[in-house]
């Protein structure tokens, strides 16, 4: 089979690596992909993820068996429906189902209707409304823009003054453009976070290994929220808690999808806060997480090519997982997440890899002298695999040492809490 992967980040590189190891896959294509993916033999097509006609032409020309959509933007714009109408097999939810991610208000209403535990909330559209609604909450205030914001549209404000500043940024400075026309103010949840991803055909699901992302830029969970600075998995969690998550959250989410007639074939990501009162949904993502995919992909005991193919046809495959641990340490550009510095030459040996560690490319490019350079916020992912979490982390950090550049940012405490 020939597969087309849409996207160009570390998540898509992780998916490509998994497909490359699948005996059923003869060719892996990426759109637009990036030069670093070619190191794993992906054939890249420099076409925008929003150029639907261009994507369809590529599917036809390359005789693609099925398409995997990685990032949220084309999902929110309806790429999966567009392709399915042309009889292309797709691993991704419909545009309707992707609203679970593309609109925080849609997802809150969904959770309320199906009695899924989450924070209470108010919908606000101005600074004034935000400050009035704030009377319903205690600090810290959680303020979120409704639309897609690349993981940067959530403010945790310690004081009313900070909340006011955030709401001015959103409603008056229009930092998030249309994505920030409406926002939510919601109850703060105290606890620990985990990412629960499931593979689903919209009818039933298979759970994937649990992982933990590290969203803040700096060590000890300080600094601004980012797309994710590293992850580890699988987490060992009390089976009673897992049972509770299954009955109170995952099963009800499935029932909701069916009741609303939402076509879902792909990965559903449930971001959870485990509080003293039980698990609460913080967010849904209608796709693999980045960097969670980097953790999950190497853990399948089987072949991804076949698993994704079944999902694209609406069949739920049986899956099992290897008894291994994986760690991903993100190396980010100077000034990420505000305005990452591009074009900085990466030193060291970006091609270094061992049987238990390697790099994935999420923001690299080659310049005209053929030097690898930074070309995005999250630049490289150092992946480590081991039979214990300690070993996986040690392998990931050893790998990370093989590349460096001026101004690079890296957290030194990925997985520390789990250890
Ligand atoms: P989100 O993009 O919705 O996942 O939010 C980004 C991060 O903000 C989450 O990973 C949490 O760390 C934090 N967060 C979001 N909502 C809440 C909440 N209601 N209570 C506490 N922390 C939250
Ligand atoms: N790791 C969080 C996300 O993919 O949104």
Cα four-point dihedral sign 57, 62, 63, 65: negative
> Which residue minimizes the CA distance to atom 4 of ligand 2?
289
- The binding-site residues of ligand 1, defined as CB within 6 angstroms of any ligand atom, are 119, 142, 144, 151, 154, 156, 186, 188-189, 193, 215, 225, 271, 273, 282-283
Ligand 2 centroid distance, CA of 288 (Å)? 8
Least distant ligand from the CA of 72: 2
Per-residue pLDDT at 151: 75
**Around Cβ 180, how many Cβ atoms within 10 Å?**
21
End-to-end Cα, the chain, rounded Å: 40
Instruction: Among 3.30.465.10, 3.40.50.2300, 2.70.150.10, 3.30.470.20, name the CATH number for the domain at 192-312.
Output: 3.30.470.20
Per-residue pLDDT at 52: 98
Rounded Cα gap, residues 288 and 200, in angstroms: 12
Per-residue pLDDT at 396: 98
Note the pTM of the prediction, 2 decimals.
Answer: 0.96
Instruction: Among 3.30.1490.20, 3.40.50.1820, 2.130.10.10, 3.90.1150.10, name the CATH number for the domain at 121-186.
Output: 3.30.1490.20
Ligand 1: residue of 157, 273, 286, 291 to mutate (most ligand atoms within 8 A of CB) is 273
Q: Please give the backbone phi and psi of residue 165, each rounded to the nearest 5 degrees, phi first.
A: -60, -40
Domain 2-92, CATH:
3.40.50.20
Residue 191 DSSP label:
S
Least distant ligand from the CA of 271: 1
Rounded Cα gap, residues 352 and 62, in angstroms: 31
Per-residue pLDDT at 249: 98
Looking from the CA of 319 toward its CB, the CA atoms found within 13 Å total 25
Helices (H), 191-345: 239-245, 251-259, 292-296, 304-312
Per-residue pLDDT at 247: 98
Token pair, residue 185, equals 């103010």
- Facing residues of 4 across strands? 29, 67
Residue 321 DSSP label:
B
* Coil, strand or helix at 326: strand
Question: For the chain, which ranges sit under pLDDT 70?
Answer: none
Task: For domain 325-404, give the fold.
Answer: 3.90.600
Contact assessment for residue 30 and residue 20, using Cβ atoms and an 8 Å cutoff = no
Contact assessment for residue 367 and residue 345, using Cβ atoms and an 8 Å cutoff = yes
Residue 207 DSSP label:
E
**Around Cβ 3, how many Cβ atoms within 10 Å?**
30
Per-residue pLDDT at 250: 98
Ligand 1 centroid distance, CA of 130 (Å)? 18
């Amino acid at each position: 089979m020939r597969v087309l992967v849409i996207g160009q980040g570390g998540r898509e590189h992780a998916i490509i690596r998994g497909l490359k190891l699948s005996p059923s896959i003869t060719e892996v294509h990426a759109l637009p992909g990036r030069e670093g993916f070619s190191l794993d033999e992906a054939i890249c097509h420099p076409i925008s993820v929003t150029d639907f006609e261009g994507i369809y032409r590529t599917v036809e020309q390359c005789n693609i068996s099925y398409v995997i959509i990685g990032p949220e933007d084309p999902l929110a714009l309806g790429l999966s429906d567009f392709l399915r109408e042309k009889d292309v097999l797709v691993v991704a939810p419909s545009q309707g189902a992707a609203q679970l991610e593309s609109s925080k208000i849609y997802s809150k209403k969904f959770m309320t209707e199906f009695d899924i535990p989450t924070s209470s909330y108010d919908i606000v559209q101005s600074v004034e409304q935000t400050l009035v609604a704030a009377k319903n909450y205690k600090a810290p205030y959680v303020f979120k823009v409704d639309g897609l914001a690349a993981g940067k549209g959530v403010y945790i404000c310690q004081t009313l003054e900070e909340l006011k500043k955030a709401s001015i940024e959103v409603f008056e400075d229009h930092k998030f453009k249309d994505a920030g026309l409406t926002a939510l103010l919601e109850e703060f949840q105290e606890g620990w976070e985990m990412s629960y991803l499931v593979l689903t055909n919209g009818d039933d699901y298979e759970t994937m290994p649990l992982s933990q992302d590290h969203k803040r830029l700096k060590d000890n969970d300080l600094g601004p929220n980012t797309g994710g600075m590293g992850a580890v998995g699988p987490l060992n969690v009390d089976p009673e808690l897992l049972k509770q998550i299954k009955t109170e959250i995952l099963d009800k989410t499935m029932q909701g999808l069916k009741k609303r007639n939402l076509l879902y074939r792909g990965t559903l990501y449930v971001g959870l806060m485990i509080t003293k009162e039980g698990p609460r949904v913080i967010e849904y993502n209608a796709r693999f997480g980045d960097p969670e995919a980097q953790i999950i992909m190497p853990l399948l005991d089987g072949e991804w090519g076949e698993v994704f193919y079944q999902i694209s046809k609406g069949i739920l495959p049986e899956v099992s997982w290897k008894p291994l641990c994986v760690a991903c340490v993100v190396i980010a550009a100077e000034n990420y997440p505000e305005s990452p510095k591009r074009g900085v030459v990466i030193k060291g040996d970006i091609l270094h890899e061992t049987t238990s560690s390697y790099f994935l490319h999420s923001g690299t490019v080659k310049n005209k002298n053929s030097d690898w350079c930074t070309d995005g916020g999250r630049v490289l992912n150092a992946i480590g695999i081991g039979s214990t979490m300690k070993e996986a982390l040690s392998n990931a950090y050893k790998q990370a040492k093989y590349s460096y550049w001026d101004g690079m940012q890296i957290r030194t405490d990925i997985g520390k809490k789990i250890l």
